[in-house]
Structure formats: structure tokens, C-alpha cells
Amino acid sequence: MTGNILESITAQYHSLTRSGKKLADYIFAHTGEAQYFSISTLAENSGVSEASITRFCHGLGLAGYNDFKLALAKTDRVTDMGELSDSPQSIASDDSLNCIFQKIHQASVLSLNETLGLLDENTISQAVDLLVNADRVYCFGHGGSMVMAMEAWARFSTASSKFIQITDSHMQIMATALATEKDVILVFSYSGSTKDMESTLQTAKMHGVPVILITHYPNSRAAEFADVVLLCGYNEGPLQSGSIPAKVGQMLLIDCLFYGFCRKNPEATAAARSATAEAIAQKLL
């Protein structure tokens, strides 16, 4: 595919199937927001199947849905720094440093507020109970989400030794294959739609291993395998992959889980945190 994706859709419109035209009509009417959707969300909103969306993308000469989202994002006007210009937090090179600071702050506050608004006490309590009662907790993620998995592991490691973090996707699925229903997988996936993560979660389901998912998309593929789904705020577009504001919301969820975990056994966690702090103190000058 070359040129503008919307022009390509228009050129092929009359040769599309009924479901293809239905999808195209939806995309024309919702171009700005569609680029933020997971494939499951687009399928639900447009009224066509995920398989139809995949065929639609292939018909446009694209490798898959992620390529389609990227092409769709590029049809929108962007700043000279690659930021989507439809957001008041978009940054351009002619912004002063102070203006950039303000926009970054606004985006982070927006992420925190949206995540707080999505928090549900009962869902957090379910997740905390799983973490407290687990023999082992595996913290998984891929790409930018791996960073969040490491953040969770580092945070919980100050209070308990049962949290484990594995970076390699092959080792993740191997550990999952040997896990039991007494273990828990705490998985981070903003999109909830990655191949490696799907393979790991399918294995977890097969072995009855409980899964806690932190994602932005409640109807994502990963959510189908999760026992508990916690939602983070902030719409991250394809051109903003790995954005800090998206991570800020996830870090709020990590801390909510951490303090929920600690309050279940305050004496033990206080002793563990004191012990780890004393050990680290020896490393300081």
C-alpha cells in the first residue's frame, strides 16, 4: 500500500464486501478515534468480526491490524515532532521548554485522573487476594510493558520474596507451563493484543493459573484469559508507543495493589520492608 490509507479505502470501496463497506463507513466517520482502538473494540463498535477486519487490512496490502492503525494515525495531522495534533498535550518543536513541561504535566495528570476514575474497589480487592494467597507471583510483559512488569516486581520485592520477574518470552511460557493454580501471573499489556502474551495466557488457562491483567482495553484478547482485569487510563496512539503518561496510570495501579497487599499482613510486610531497607542502606555511601 502506498499513499494515504483513506484514499486507498475510497479507491477500493465499491469492490469491498458488505462487511468491508460497513467497516469502511465506520472508519470514515470515526477516523480520529479508531486509531486508538484494539481490534476487538473496533469489531464491537463497527459491528463486524475481527476476522473481517484482518481480511480488510490484508486487502489494503497491509501485514495486519497494527499496520492499519499506524497508517490510520499517519492520515491525521501531526506536529513536526510526530505528535498527533488533535490533543492539547501535543508537543511541537516551536513550543518553549516551559510549554513542553506544562503539556507533559497535563498528560500525566490526565492519565492519573482517568485511571483513578476506572478503579473499582471490588476488582482491586480480588486482585489483592490473589496476590496474598499465591505461592509465587510472576510479573510478565513485553516491550514497553516489560518495563512496567519490572516496576511491579521491584516494588513488591521490598515486601515479599515470592514475586518473580522473567524477561524472555520463551522462559515466560516455560515458567507458566510449570505453574499451578496456587500461583498467579500479573501481566502488563497496554494493548492486550500481542502474540507472545496470548501464547503465555493460553498456557496459563490450560493449567488453571489465575491471571491478573493490567491493560487499557477491557475487551482485548488478553482480557479473555484474565481472571481479574484492571484498567489504566490515557489514550496512547500508534505514534506514541511507550509514552510516559500511559505508564503513569499503570504505576498508580501498581501502588494500589502494593498497599492493598501490605495491609493484609502489616506486621510481616513492615518487617520485610525494614529488612530490605537495611540491606540496601549498606550499599549507600
What confidence tens digit (pLDDT) does each residue in 241-251 have? 678 999 999 99
Angle between helices 50-59 and 65-75 (to 10 degrees): 70
What are the φ/ψ torsions at residue 193 (nearest 5 degrees)? -140, 65
Sorted by where each starts, the structural domains of the chain and their CATH numbers stand as 5-75 (1.10.10.10), 108-281 (3.40.50.10490)
21, three cell numbers: 463497506
- Residue 88 scores a pLDDT above 70: no
- Residue 206 scores a pLDDT above 80: yes
Helix (H) or strand (E) holding 211: strand 211-215
pTM of the model: 0.80
85-94, 223-232, 251-260: which has the minimum mean pLDDT? 85-94
- 124: Cβ contacts below 8 Å, ≥ 6 apart: 230, 256, 257, 260
Start-to-end Cα distance in the chain:
58
Q: Report pLDDT for 275.
A: 93
- Residue 68 scores a pLDDT above 70: yes
Confidence of residue 49 (pLDDT cuts 50, 70, 90): very high
CA 102 – CA 116 distance, rounded (Å): 21
- Residue 66 scores a pLDDT above 60: yes
For the chain, what percentages of helix, strand and coil (3-state, to nearest 5) are there?
A: 60, 10, 30
- Residue ranges of E strands in 29-176: 137-141, 163-165
CB 220 within 8 Å of CB 192: yes
> Which residues are paired to 256 by β-bridges?
none
